Structure formats: structure tokens, C-alpha cells
A and B are shown apart, each in its own frame.
Chain A
Amino acid sequence: MREESLKLRPYLDETGVMIGLEIHVQLNKLNTKIFCGCPLDYHDDGPNTHTCPVCLGLPGSLPVINRKAVEYSIKVGLALNCSIEEHTQFYRKNYYYPDLPKGFQITQYDYPIASSGYINIEGEDGEVRVRINRAHMEEDPGRLVHEGGSIERSKYTLIDYNRSGVALLEIVTEPDIRSPKEARRFLDKLRNILGYLDVVDTTLEGSMRVDANISLSGGSRSEVKNISSHKGAERALLFEIVRQKNLLRRGGKVVQETRHFDEARGVTVSLRTKEEAHDYRYFPEADLVSLKVADWAPGIAKTLPELPDARRQRFITHYSITDDHAKSLTSEKQVADFYEQVAAEVDPKLAAVWIADVLKGELNYRDLGIDAFASASMVQLVKLLAGDKITEQSGVEVIRTILDEGGTPDEVVAAKGLLKAGSDLVTAAVEEAIAENPGAVEDYQNGKQEAVNFLMGQVMKKTKGRADAKEVRKMIIQRV
């Protein structure tokens, strides 16, 4: 199998960059929190409105595991090619922080729900495999709101426990990533897979939070926390590489430490060194019984959807489209679904070109999702193009107009008169242009190529741009 032929990354370049990521994924598509029945639809409500004795950690309250959260976690584990443990167990991670109402976080330690998986990504040197060490479940702490914007400037801090107890899945990779760009690609791929699984709404703030471990050869590892976007991850890592390189070049030492990423300034600052590291005193959470999850996995495996890599392969073979197009079309589940709806009605190759190369670009430019464009409109547009009814240039204009002003392709074409001019009309316009501009004709005959462009402009003016530029050029050259 192709998958199996992928070897572990053997190389390190001269800087020896090694990056490992820890991604906290909020399972925010669940109805309720991980250990209580509080609903997750708190984003439009005021602070501390979605709480109960359990997620507030009131004395005497006890956690009860959300079965669906376990199922979602197994689903992600399987999609990341992990093995699901026979038994899974919760632990307490003991530390004090104002967002943590119990003084400990319920998480996993030994016996995480999933372990030893991998994701393949487009690396600096072709497709590479990034191994997943483990994925474990835990509870999100509350959210601190620093009045005044930052810890430094605020006079006091408020705590919102609506987020307290939201199910998190922490995915930990091996240090198989070799560059900030690869880190970003890994995160994009992971987000794509999670989107396919329908377990997380990645558009919600804080739904994917990243900590990155990075080291250069000859130095210790630093952990960068507080990265909230994929772009942020790339920037934070770039900064760290430069910082560590400079330190090493000057004969300094990179110490093992935890650093904080200041997104606004694009820098990392030291939070604590190894000596100040916490001893979390992990020990089993006796309030939750161990779960025999091995029995759950086969049933959940059956519910797994087709994942991006498999879908990409199918697109290539089934629709005979290029690898690049297939990759682009499957990088987001909604886009792939959109493509398949269109490809069912029209030429799949032409549809791939117009969706992957044109529509996605126009959407990105406007920061819009695929839902901003109706698949029926794309079908109509591809039919117009396939039937040679409009020019490619007009096709782009149709897409732009629909995104900016609305309407259907037929409506836009009619309103703007974009239907290709008939050949009689074009021939007549060419004749007219030649008759009206003998000077230009002469120039061309004397070897002045630019004269053709002038004549083409005249023809386009007469046909109001509805003529195919290539054809017009051909006709003019033939005539003169």
C-alpha cells in the first residue's frame, strides 16, 4: 500500500529543526459538556449562564462522563490511524489557577483513549508522515477576562465558567515536523479531517488551540503556548527558530522552558524554565470508573466517513482530474461535497478547473465560504462555458458579480449582455475595423505586430467585448 511505503522522516537539515505539536480540539459539536449536562450553546449568552455545581466545581459535586464525547474521541482517534486502548482511564492533573475551579483538571495520563497514529502531509520534500503519539480527553477550564485587555494592564480579572467543562481532545504529535510551513500544513490537514468527522466547528473561537515544542540541533526544547491560529503557529515557530539560531550562533544556550506567544507583537516571551516546571502529581480520578472502550471501536469505525486522503484518490480515478485539483477540492469537506454535486451534472474536469482554480480564489479573496455560492449556479455556469456560450473572461465576471451582487449566471449573462457574439457579427466587425483603419493595416504589413492589438481593440469595442479575443486575433491576421 501507498501509505505503508511512507517512511519515517530520516533527515534533519543543517539547522536540525524538530517540531512537535499539541493541539487542543474543542469537541464543540456535542450537545453538552464532558462531565455534566450543561449545554454548549453559550456563545451568544452572557458569562456564567451555562453552569452547574459540577462545572463550577462546587463542594460535593461529581463528574459523569459524556458518552458521546468518548465516541467522538474514538472517532478522531480512528481517523488519525490511532489504536484505541483496551481500557481508558481519567486522571487528575493538580495545579492552581483561577480558571480551574476544582484546583485540578480531569484529564488522561496513562491509558489515553487513542495512541500511536499518524497523518500524512505535504512536506518540504514530498509527502511525509507525522506520527501521532496520543490523543487524550480532558475538560476545558473557564475563561479569564482581563479587564483592560491584557494581564499587565488589567486591574482585575473576571472568570467566565461557561467554557469550564467543555470536552477537549488533546492531540500530541511526535517531533516529526521540520519547518513552520509544515506545521501549518499539518494543522490545516488536521482541521480538514476534523471537519470531515463533523465533531468540531472550527470556526468558533478557541476551537483549536496549539502548543508547539521546538528545538534546533545543539539546543534544548522550548514549548510555545497560547497559539490560537494556524498562521500564528507558523509565525511563532519562525520567530523561535530565529531566536534559537541567534542564541546558538552567539555561543549561548537554549534552555528548556515554556514560552508564551504574543500574537500582537509576533514574539515569544519566557513564561517559566524547567526548574520552575510544575509537578502535576497525576493520579487516577476515582470518581470516574475506567471505560472498556475497545468494545466501542468497531461500531464507531463503521460510522467513519470517507476521509480526505481517500476522497482525493477517488476524485483522481473517478473524475479523471489532476492530483492538484483533487487535493484542492478535498481540502475542505464542504468544497468536496460542492464539487461532487456539480460534477454529477456537468463535465467533471471543467467543473474541477472552475471550482478549484477560479471559484476558491474568488471566495478566499472575499473571505467567504463555499456556501456563498450555490452549486446550481456553478452547474449553470459550467454549462454556459461548455456550450461555448460565454468566454472564459465572462465566466470569471459572472462569478465575481454573483458573489458581489447576487443573481444566477443566466441572469448576470443577460443583464450584462455577456453572450458570445455570433460569428457573422464578429466577421462584420473585423471587416469594418480593417476598412476604417488602413494605416494600422499598413503598419502590420510593414512588420509592426502591435498594430494587430490596435485592430483587436477596435473589434472588441464594436462587439462590446463579447468576442473571443483569440479568435478575433486569428481572423485579423488571416485577413491582413
Chain B
Amino acid sequence: MITVSQTLEAIQDSSAEEVVSQCIDRIEASKFNTFITVAKESALEVAGETEGHTSPLAGVPIAIKDNISTKGIQTTCASRILGGYVPPYDAHVIERLKEAGAVIVGKVNMDEFAMGTSTETSHYGPTLNPWNTETVPGGSSGGSAATIAAGEVPLALGSDTGGSVRCPASFCGVVGLKPTYGVISRYGLISYANSLEQIGPIASNVADMTLLFNVIAGHDQRDSTSVPGEKDYTKALVDDVKGLTIGVPKEYFGDGLDQAVEKSVWDSVHRLEDLGASWQEVEMPRTKYALAAYYVIAMSEASSNLARFDGMRYGLRLEKDHDWHTTYSEIRAQGFGEEVKRRILLGTYALSAGYMDKYYLKALKVRTLIKQDFERALKSTDVLIAPTMPTPAFKLGEKISDPLTLYMADVNTVPVNLSGVPSVSLPCGFSNGLPIGLQIMGKHFDEKTIIRTAYTFEQNTNFHTKAPEVV
């Protein structure tokens, strides 16, 4: 894997253009189907312009999940329905990245409209896990995590609606953050479930992830849910957890938890204890309802958020036009994949007259209870630690035909989105050559404490130094 400091050194030694050019060569030679669109021309042009700049990411290549609006670069959400859509505007995070001198090298693969846990629902075919190409990279930001694990780019952006940054970070052995809801502007992030999701930074190590987070966080008046965050998150990159209290929620170690994962996570807790932290078990009794509540809310919102894709103004168009009813129906029938249709239909059902009380409104109540669980557990503790995923990466095709089993894999990530708290996933072990992810959750707007915990863990372990052999 490549770090930002290595990249900056390489730029010093040669040029940003040279570094970006090599990066694009790697992407084009990739065996993992990480990218949907490579923006070769614009990347090389921008790289040339950053020459001599002192901005923090001057000339550093970055991969962008394909559900983030990039002016002039096709943005598809890995869906057929958005094929050929070239946005006329940049997302807020893209503006921030450009100001910081970062070079967008292209758009990475994902589950269609971020609906999935394996990147297998992409219209552009699945991304492969660089650690083992027979396994999935996780999802939905599979392309983002895999391209970093494969050493193609040093930085990537993903988005996390129910674990979509942390799951692939866990499966690919990289670092990914789901910030507190509101810390990063969603302006330009194509909504799947807008009350749950955040854009998240992904990198090969905690320091790089934090550097990227620092660039993209901050208030934006175009997103009403955006809030001013901290001024400088890199100040949290401190190797010290003395006095830190860790909560370990037993509900996150439930049925179906892989033994190797369980052991690695407990080893990590003990490692942090050795470094001066203390830990206690905490109870989060409503966790068992989180998965159901999450899927009801996410699908309900999705049914509305995806209504605009009708082929009238952009994206897929039919050969022959019919009356608008027929045209809308045919475009949506042909443009959306199976999983997207499933979620739109279920979400429409959950919001329908006569069912709304039973599903959507009930899920909102559960959401409030989950929030209370977090507030209570974090009253006596500083951070919560749990496995990101109950297992290491599973095999391609293993779960895709059984949606319910696939949904179950999100059991430890979705409560975080329901409550809005920040959470980071970083590598903490291996099982049969596949990485295991450690999830560190914190209080609302207290990214600094989870970053400090993650950084300290990383500085005192060597999991992050391992990389898959990419030939």
C-alpha cells in the first residue's frame, strides 16, 4: 500500500505529473476491477497545475466513490440508469479536495446506489478483494477500499449508510471512518438513505485517513444538516491512551461471530489496556432491533431518493419514446438492478398508507432507543470497541443470492448510522490470510478520541504494515 508521505516524497523526487501517471498505469493494469471511470486526461492536467503548490495534498492522487458528484467526470452510482451522466457540478468534498491540491484520478466501483455489502450489485461487475480474489472486498465502498489495499492510490473517498466505509475497510485491511452525521457536507453525495449516510475517508493508515478527513470536514451552507466540526483533527494523532475508558458491548459479540475475529478484537482491547487504557463491558440491549429498523428506514428513504431517476433529463434513454408513464416504467425496469428494485419496492411498501405505522414509524422509535443505548453506554466510557464485521471477507457469490443472510452481515455497523455517532474501522488481525477489522465508536462529534485510540493502537501494532501481494 502507498502512504501520503511516500507519495509527497515521490512528487519531490520527480513530479506530480509523473506520480499521477504511474498511479493511472497501476489503475489501468488493475486485476481487481476497482475503477468504473478513469479520469486520465483531467488528472494529468490537474497534476501539472499543482507543481510547486504547498497545499496539504498537492499532487496526491485520490479515488472517488462513484456516488459523489464530480464536475465533468461521469458519475454512475454503478447503475445502468446513470450511464453517461456527467454532472455539471462538484460535490462539496470535491471542491475541498481540489482546493487542497488533490488529484482526482477517477471514480471507483461500488454496490449499485450503495446498496450492498459486497460490491457485487454493481452494474460494472464485482470488485475483487486484493487479499484473495475469490473473496469480496466488502461494500458498498468496495472499490475505494480495494484500490487502496491494492496499492493503486493512497487515498479514497467512500460513503457509509449502514457500514459501507467500515465493512470494506475491514475486509480489505485498510482504515475507514464514518464521521458523526453532519460533520462532512453531503452536498453532491447521491442519496441512498439521506438521514443515515455520511461521506467517509479511507486510507492505508490512521494518519493518512485523518489528513484526508481534515480536508473534507467542515460546515457547508448548502447542506442544512451540516455542522461546524473541529478545526484540526490531525492534533488527535497522539500515541497515548492512558486513562481512556473502553466499553465493550457484549451484544456485538453475538451468534455468527467468527472465532478468529472475536479473539483479534479481544486481543486488541487487551493491547490497549497494556498501553494504559481500561475497559468494561457495557450493555446495549436494543442492538438486536437495529438491523430491522435500519433496513426499514434505509429502504423507505431510498424509495423516495431514487424516484428522480426517470431518464428524462440525464442517464439511460430508450431507443424509442412512449408516453411518459410507459417511458418512466421501462427506463426504471431496465436501468435498476435486482437489489435496487427490491429495496425500492420494500421501501414503498413500508411507507404506504396502512403500513407506515407498522414499519416506518416503528423503525423511527427503535432508532430513538438505539440512540439512547449509545448515550448510556458512552456516559461511563470514552469509546466503544467491537468487531466491525462478524467475519472476514466471504466468498464471491456466497451470499448474493440470499439477501437476508447478506443483510445480517451489517449487524455491527448499522447501529452506528442509526445513532449518528462516529466510528472508525482499522485492521487488527488476520484469519487465513484475510484481514480482520476493529471498530472503534465514539460520542457524537468526538472524532478526536476515536482517532487517538486508533492511532495509538496502530503505532503499537504492525497490522497496518501488511499488504496483499499484488502481482
Interface assignment of A60: CB less than 8 Å from any CB of chain B? yes
Q: Which of B67, B187, B304 contacts A103 (CB 8 A)?
A: B304
Interface assignment of B29: CB less than 8 Å from any CB of chain A? no
Spell out B's residues near A (CB within 8 Å): 67-69, 75, 77, 82, 85, 87-89, 91, 186-191, 194-195, 221-225, 300-301, 303-304, 306-310, 312-314, 324, 328, 348, 351-353, 356, 360
Interface assignment of A63: CB less than 8 Å from any CB of chain B? yes
Please encode chain A, from 59 to 92, with 1 for each CB lying within 8 Å of some chain B CB and 0 for all others. 1111111000000000000000000000000001
Surface stretch bound by B, among A50-58, A378-386, A434-442: A50-58
Inter-chain contact A279/B353, CB cutoff 8 Å = yes
Closest 10 CB pairs of A and B: A103-B307, A286-B195, A281-B351, A60-B69, A59-B190, A60-B188, A60-B190, A102-B308, A103-B308, A279-B353
- Min CB–CB distance B333 → chain A (angstroms): 14
Inter-chain contact B312/A98, CB cutoff 8 Å = yes
The chain A residue sitting closest to B85, CB to CB, is: A59
Interface assignment of A30: CB less than 8 Å from any CB of chain B? no
Chain A residues, CB < 8 A from B348: 281
Inter-chain contact B194/A286, CB cutoff 8 Å = yes
Q: What is the bound-complex CA distance between A62 and B184, given in angstroms?
A: 14
Chain B residues, CB < 8 A from A65: 224
Chain B residues, CB < 8 A from A103: 304, 306-310
Known pairs A61-B187, A286-B195; A281 contacts B221 (CB<8 A): no
- Min CB–CB distance B191 → chain A (angstroms): 7
Please encode chain A, from 97 to 111, with 1 for each CB lying within 8 Å of some chain B CB and 0 for all others. 010011110000000
Chain A residues, CB < 8 A from B356: 281, 283
Inter-chain contact A286/B187, CB cutoff 8 Å = no
A-B contacts, 30 of them at CB < 8 A, read A57-B308, A58-B87, A59-B77, A59-B82, A59-B309, A59-B314, A60-B67, A60-B69, A60-B87, A60-B91, A61-B89, A62-B187, A63-B224, A64-B222, A94-B304, A94-B351, A96-B310, A101-B308, A101-B312, A102-B308, A103-B307, A104-B304, A279-B353, A281-B348, A281-B351, A281-B353, A283-B356, A288-B224, A289-B224, A289-B225
Interface assignment of A287: CB less than 8 Å from any CB of chain B? yes
Chain B residues, CB < 8 A from A62: 186-187, 222-224
- Min CB–CB distance A50 → chain B (angstroms): 15
Inter-chain contact B352/A281, CB cutoff 8 Å = yes
Chain B residues, CB < 8 A from A289: 224-225
Inter-chain contact B352/A64, CB cutoff 8 Å = no
Q: Which of B221, B307, B313, B353 contacts A104 (CB 8 A)?
A: B307
The chain B residue sitting closest to A289, CB to CB, is: B224
Within 8 A of B (CB), among A240-270: none
Give 8 new A-B contacts, CB below 8 A, not counting A53-B88, A64-B221, A286-B225: A59-B82, A59-B314, A60-B91, A60-B186, A103-B306, A283-B360, A287-B224, A288-B224
Q: Which of A59, A63, A279, A286 contacts B352 (CB 8 A)?
A: A279
Inter-chain contact A283/B300, CB cutoff 8 Å = yes
The chain A residue sitting closest to B226, CB to CB, is: A62
- Min CB–CB distance B418 → chain A (angstroms): 13
Inter-chain contact B313/A96, CB cutoff 8 Å = no
Q: What is the bound-complex CA distance between A392 and B69, given in angstroms?
A: 73
Q: What is the bound-complex CA distance between A109 and B222, given in angstroms?
A: 24
Inter-chain contact A283/B191, CB cutoff 8 Å = no
Chain A residues, CB < 8 A from B351: 94, 281, 283
The chain A residue sitting closest to B186, CB to CB, is: A62
Known pairs A94-B351, A98-B312; A59 contacts B75 (CB<8 A): yes
- Min CB–CB distance B92 → chain A (angstroms): 9
Q: Which of B68, B69, B77, B307 contacts A96 (CB 8 A)?
A: B307
Chain B residues, CB < 8 A from A281: 303-304, 348, 351-353, 356
Chain B residues, CB < 8 A from A104: 304, 307
Q: What is the bound-complex CA distance between A60 and B85, given in angstroms?
A: 13
Chain A residues, CB < 8 A from B195: 286
Inter-chain contact A58/B304, CB cutoff 8 Å = no
Residue of A101, A103, A286 most packed against chain B (CB within 10 A): A286
Inter-chain contact B301/A59, CB cutoff 8 Å = no
Q: How many inter-chain residue pairs (CB < 8 Å) link A and B?
A: 97
Q: What is the bound-complex CA distance between A287 and B314, given in angstroms?
A: 23
Q: Which of A56, A61, A94, A288 contacts B313 (CB 8 A)?
A: A56
- Min CB–CB distance B376 → chain A (angstroms): 24
Chain A residues, CB < 8 A from B75: 59
Chain B residues, CB < 8 A from A96: 307, 310, 328
- Min CB–CB distance A220 → chain B (angstroms): 19
Chain A residues, CB < 8 A from B68: 60
Residue of B67, B224, B348, B352 most packed against chain A (CB within 10 A): B224
Inter-chain contact A59/B222, CB cutoff 8 Å = no
Inter-chain contact A59/B304, CB cutoff 8 Å = no
- Min CB–CB distance A207 → chain B (angstroms): 27
Chain A residues, CB < 8 A from B67: 60
Chain B residues, CB < 8 A from A53: 69, 87-89
Chain B residues, CB < 8 A from A59: 69, 75, 77, 82, 85, 87, 190-191, 308-309, 314
- Min CB–CB distance B378 → chain A (angstroms): 23
Inter-chain contact B225/A94, CB cutoff 8 Å = no
Q: What is the bound-complex CA distance between A59 and B85, given in angstroms?
A: 10
Inter-chain contact A287/B328, CB cutoff 8 Å = no
Residue of A53, A60, A103 most packed against chain B (CB within 10 A): A60
The chain A residue sitting closest to B191, CB to CB, is: A60
Inter-chain contact A101/B313, CB cutoff 8 Å = yes
Q: Which of B224, B306, B309, B324 contacts A64 (CB 8 A)?
A: B224
Within 8 A of B (CB), among A339-386: none
Inter-chain contact A60/B224, CB cutoff 8 Å = no
Q: What is the bound-complex CA distance between A98 and B307, given in angstroms?
A: 12
- Min CB–CB distance A66 → chain B (angstroms): 12
Within 8 A of B (CB), among A31-47: none
Q: What is the bound-complex CA distance between A279 and B303, given in angstroms?
A: 13
Chain B residues, CB < 8 A from A98: 312, 324
- Min CB–CB distance B192 → chain A (angstroms): 11
Q: What is the bound-complex CA distance between A31 and B228, given in angstroms?
A: 28
Q: What is the bound-complex CA distance between A258 and B356, given in angstroms?
A: 25
Chain B residues, CB < 8 A from A58: 69, 87-89, 314
Within 8 A of B (CB), among A291-322: none
Chain A residues, CB < 8 A from B303: 94, 281
Q: What is the bound-complex CA distance between A288 and B309, given in angstroms?
A: 21
Q: What is the bound-complex CA distance between A219 and B352, given in angstroms?
A: 28
The chain B residue sitting closest to A98, CB to CB, is: B324
Inter-chain contact A286/B190, CB cutoff 8 Å = no
Q: What is the bound-complex CA distance between A56 and B306, given in angstroms?
A: 15
Q: What is the bound-complex CA distance between A416 and B310, given in angstroms?
A: 69
Known pairs A60-B188, A60-B190, A283-B360; A94 contacts B307 (CB<8 A): yes
Inter-chain contact B304/A92, CB cutoff 8 Å = yes
Q: What is the bound-complex CA distance between A159 and B324, given in angstroms?
A: 13
Q: Which of B189, B309, B324, B353 contacts A60 (CB 8 A)?
A: B189
Residue of A57, A58, A101 most packed against chain B (CB within 10 A): A58
Inter-chain contact A287/B225, CB cutoff 8 Å = yes
Q: What is the bound-complex CA distance between A102 and B312, given in angstroms?
A: 11
Q: What is the bound-complex CA distance between A101 and B313, given in angstroms?
A: 8
Q: Which of B194, B300, B312 contacts A287 (CB 8 A)?
A: B194
Q: What is the bound-complex CA distance between A65 and B82, given in angstroms?
A: 28
Residue of B186, B308, B360 most packed against chain A (CB within 10 A): B308
Chain B residues, CB < 8 A from A102: 307-308
Chain B residues, CB < 8 A from A56: 313
- Min CB–CB distance A85 → chain B (angstroms): 19
Q: What is the bound-complex CA distance between A479 and B222, given in angstroms?
A: 89
Q: What is the bound-complex CA distance between A217 and B160, given in angstroms?
A: 56
Q: What is the bound-complex CA distance between A30 and B73, given in angstroms?
A: 35
Q: What is the bound-complex CA distance between A104 and B310, given in angstroms?
A: 12
Chain B residues, CB < 8 A from A57: 308
The chain B residue sitting closest to A288, CB to CB, is: B224
The chain B residue sitting closest to A279, CB to CB, is: B353
Q: What is the bound-complex CA distance between A337 and B22, given in angstroms?
A: 75
Q: What is the bound-complex CA distance between A286 and B189, given in angstroms?
A: 14
Chain A residues, CB < 8 A from B328: 96
